[in-house]
Amino acid sequence: MESSALAAFWMDFNRLYNENGQLYHRMARACGMSDCAFWLLYTLRAEEAPMTQTQLSELLSLPRQTVNSALKNLVRAGYLRLEATDGNLKNKWVCLTETGDELLRRTVDLVFGVEDAAASHLTAEERATLLALGQKLLDACRAETENFLQTTSIGD
């Protein structure tokens, strides 16, 4: 693919990615949440099980401090509680409270409905193709990033 075609691809791809992020930002705000709080609660609901702060940070690709700040606010508001994992007081499970579960029924669960309605506009084959191509691009970007990081010494 020639350089101008690649540039056009990345321009369109990034526009779609950013517009999608803006839609989720608007839904998070409509739910009365920061983006990070929304994604923490969204992920806990989607995973259907308690997770540690580290697991949430890794799954969401967010810095631990960002996750920690949002978790503190959600715990303070009574939506989440932290429970020590098997004898480890440092690493704690992030669990929904009853109040948190009620919040998710009024917010995140409705967002899942929006997603399902949107995805229903695609056929099963189109959804599978979209995921396969997304994974293929991510794998290629990961490999190229590793190559870049091994061969580049910007700022050194």
**Does residue 139 carry a pLDDT above 60?**
yes
CA–CA separation, 75 and 98 (whole Å): 12
Crossing angle for the helix pair 35-47 and 64-76, to the nearest 10 degrees:
80
**Does residue 1 carry a pLDDT above 90?**
no
Instruction: Give the torsion through C-alpha atoms of 42, 43, 45, 49, to 10 deg.
Output: -160
3-state SS track over 104-124: HHHCHHHHHHHHHHHHCCCCH
Q: 38-57 pLDDT, tens per residue?
A: 999 999 999 998 999 999 99
At residue 155, the 3 state secondary structure works out as coil
Separation of first and last alpha carbons in the chain: 33
Write down all domains in the chain, each with its CATH number in brackets.
Answer: 3-121 (1.10.10.10)
CA-derived radius of gyration, the chain: 19
Mean pLDDT (whole number) for 66-90: 89
Mean pLDDT (whole number) for 126-133: 98
